Amino acid sequence: MPIRAKFGTTALVAGAFAVGIVVGPLVGAWAQEGGGRAETYRLLNLFGDVFERVRAEYVEPVSDRDLVENAINGMLTGLDPHSSYLNPRGFRDMQVQTRGEFGGLGIEVSQENGYIKVISPIDDTPAARAGVRPGDLIVSINGTNTQGLTLQEAVEQMRGERGTAIRITIRREGAERPIDMSITREVIRPQVVRFRMEGSDIGYIRLSSFNEQTDAALRRAVTSLRQTGGQALRGIVLDLRNNPGGLLDQAVQVTDDFLEQGEIVSTRARRNEDAQRWNARAGDITGGLPIVVLINSGSASASEIVAGALQDHRRAVVLGTRSFGKGSVQTVMPLGPNGAIRLTTARYYTPSGRSIQGTGIEPDIEVRATRQEASAASSQREREADLRRSLRNEGGVQQTTNVPPPPLNLPAGIAERVLREPAEGAPVLDLTRPETDFQLQQGLALLRAMPAGTNLQRRAQR
């Protein structure tokens, strides 16, 4: 899911090309500014030559629109894993999705080595109930191999009318053979915020994505938990595991809910004048309660903005395993009736100046969900740095001085009591049974070990 930001300065130009308008004079002006006008014209002539030969000689007739749309998508997907072309239908689907409702299976996907890779199944959707897991590779859809399909084409095939079935074949790390699944499509209205009391003293909140409903739902959850827990409420667990991200403005608002002041996130684009910065306003909706944030390799993008800001400000203890490492901003630029392009336009940075692109957020306390998760090979398969053409990590404080977050403000010995992995013979992880969720249980134990009134921010150097 893209992070939405407000740049949009090149939408008109891209729109002109997409509808087939002659752009020679305009392109020539650009090329003249860069000193390579003749070379630009030569390359445009090459494109035109290939276009005409395919129209005339390809074994079957092909429409001009298909050729141009494929060329545009190839131009964008060749840049990085997150830039792409959205045809009109795909653009409408994306708009519906960011509003918090869409049709299909309920999975967030990317593309890797020609296959469709699952970033995360969305809670309580057909894909999640069927057992689809983060890191699964979708190798066929209804018997058709996914190699050669664009990401958008694969998504369109997986979407469809409610009640219709789809067959997918997945390849899973550690599985001896491909796994076939038959899944019935539904209208997906993911409950982006789930919450409950853990015992009588800890509030648990899970954010599954960042769409237009997230911040309002989070505020309702915190209000409910504070009313239920009353004076006995001693802390909050904010679960961002397998949250693939979403809208930048929602990540900013969610972070702002827990901070009284200070920077939340900044972005740096190609031009210095396009840099942006967001700061917190006074008002912590929890009243300063200690927070533990849970992350894992499926926590990406907007999730990492929240975790990184709360970590840098020492507003929360981040617990779990290293996050996905998507530190780039995608801007959706409408092309009128021709859809839109989703273009990577900036990198984002945590308040201390860290870029997490390709590196992810390192937890304050590493806790693995299972003993098998200790395998470096397994964990490496599910991160941004392993995607083809992923952006380099550059320009952040981390590149030059490796500035860590401020030290944890915990009473002596408390962090050391947290167990790093389940014991031999521990129950198999079943997220429908909180008692089997080892990372959650360690987060609860950490909060309960803190003396009442613990202020995680007291020693932070701001």
Q: How high does pLDDT run on average in the chain? A: 84
CA dihedral 259, 260, 263, 265 (to 10 degrees): 30
> What confidence score (pLDDT) does residue 24 get?
39
239 is catalytic: no
457 in a structural domain: no
CB contact set of 337 (below 8 Å; sequence gap of 6+): 88
Q: Which range among 26-35, 97-106, 329-338 shows the weakest confidence by mean pLDDT?
A: 26-35
460 in a structural domain: no
Q: Which tokens in the block code for residue 151?
A: 């990401």
Band of residue 458 on the pLDDT scale cut at 50, 70, 90: low
| Domain identity same for 297 and 399 | yes
Tell whether the model's pLDDT for residue 158 goes beyond 70. Answer: yes
Q: Scanning the structure block, which residue is given the tokens 């399909």?
A: 149
102 - beta bridge partners?
188
| Domain identity same for 183 and 286 | no
| Domain identity same for 226 and 108 | no
| Domain identity same for 176 and 208 | no
Catalytic residue among 208, 257, 297, 326: 326
| Domain identity same for 323 and 235 | yes
301 is catalytic: yes
State phi, psi for 329 to the nearest 5 degrees. -110, 130
> What confidence score (pLDDT) does residue 185 get?
93
96 in a structural domain: no
Taking residues 270-278, report their average pLDDT. 92
> What confidence score (pLDDT) does residue 375 get?
55
Task: Determine the Cα–Cα distance for residues 106 and 121; give it in Å rounded to an integer.
Answer: 6
> What confidence score (pLDDT) does residue 377 get?
44
| Domain identity same for 244 and 283 | yes
> What confidence score (pLDDT) does residue 3 get?
40
Domain that includes residue 61, residue range: 11-86
By the 8 A CB rule, do 349 and 339 touch? Answer: no
> What confidence score (pLDDT) does residue 457 get?
74
| Domain identity same for 177 and 41 | no
Tell whether the model's pLDDT for residue 7 goes beyond 60. Answer: no
Band of residue 160 on the pLDDT scale cut at 50, 70, 90: confident
pLDDT, tens digit, 9 for 90 and up, residues 358-400? 889 999 999 999 887 765 444 444 677 777 767 777 655 544 4
pTM recorded for the entire structure: 0.74
Of 166, 188, 210, the last residue of a domain is 188
> What confidence score (pLDDT) does residue 49 get?
94
> What confidence score (pLDDT) does residue 382 get?
62
Q: Closest Cα to residue 10, out of 250, 274, 326?
A: 274
> What confidence score (pLDDT) does residue 20 get?
30
| Domain identity same for 207 and 127 | no
Q: Closest Cα to residue 292, out of 317, 256, 311, 309?
A: 317
Residue 293, domain CATH: 3.90.226.10
pLDDT, tens digit, 9 for 90 and up, residues 203-229? 999 998 899 889 999 999 999 999 999
Catalytic residue among 312, 352, 364, 437: 312
Other C-beta atoms closer than 10 Å to the C-beta of 428 total: 8
By the 8 A CB rule, do 233 and 203 touch? Answer: yes
By the 8 A CB rule, do 432 and 275 touch? Answer: no
1 in a structural domain: no
CB contact set of 107 (below 8 Å; sequence gap of 6+): 118, 119, 120, 121, 122, 125, 127, 132, 158
| Domain identity same for 27 and 172 | no
Output the CA–CA distances (angstroms, integers) from residue 360 to 127, 143, 191, 380, in the order listed.
26, 35, 26, 11
| Domain identity same for 257 and 339 | yes
**Secondary structure of residue 92 in the 3-state scheme:** helix
2 in a structural domain: no
Tell whether the model's pLDDT for residue 453 goes beyond 80. Answer: no
Percentage of residues of the chain with pLDDT beyond 90 = 54
pLDDT, tens digit, 9 for 90 and up, residues 289-321? 999 999 999 999 999 999 999 999 999 999 999
| Domain identity same for 163 and 207 | no
> What confidence score (pLDDT) does residue 11 get?
24
> What confidence score (pLDDT) does residue 401 get?
45
Of 188, 218, 242, the last residue of a domain is 188
Q: Scanning the structure block, which residue is given the tokens 């005339």?
A: 56
210 - beta bridge partners?
246
Of 43, 62, 86, the last residue of a domain is 86
82 in a structural domain: yes
371 in a structural domain: yes
| Domain identity same for 228 and 354 | yes
92 in a structural domain: no
Catalytic residue among 301, 328, 352, 355: 301
pLDDT, tens digit, 9 for 90 and up, residues 93-114? 788 777 766 778 988 788 877 7
**Secondary structure of residue 39 in the 3-state scheme:** helix
CB contact set of 346 (below 8 Å; sequence gap of 6+): 5, 7, 267, 268, 269, 270, 274, 275, 276, 328, 329, 331
Cα 165 to its chain centre, rounded Å, is 27
Q: Where are the alpha helices (DSSP H) in 171-247?
A: 214-229
Task: Determine the Cα–Cα distance for residues 142 and 157; give it in Å rounded to an integer.
Answer: 9
Q: How many domains does the chain have?
A: 3
Tell whether the model's pLDDT for residue 343 goes beyond 90. Answer: yes
Band of residue 6 on the pLDDT scale cut at 50, 70, 90: very low
* Beta strand ranges found along 178-274 (DSSP E): 179-184, 186-188, 193-198, 202-207, 235-239, 263-269
Residue 173, domain CATH: 2.30.42.10
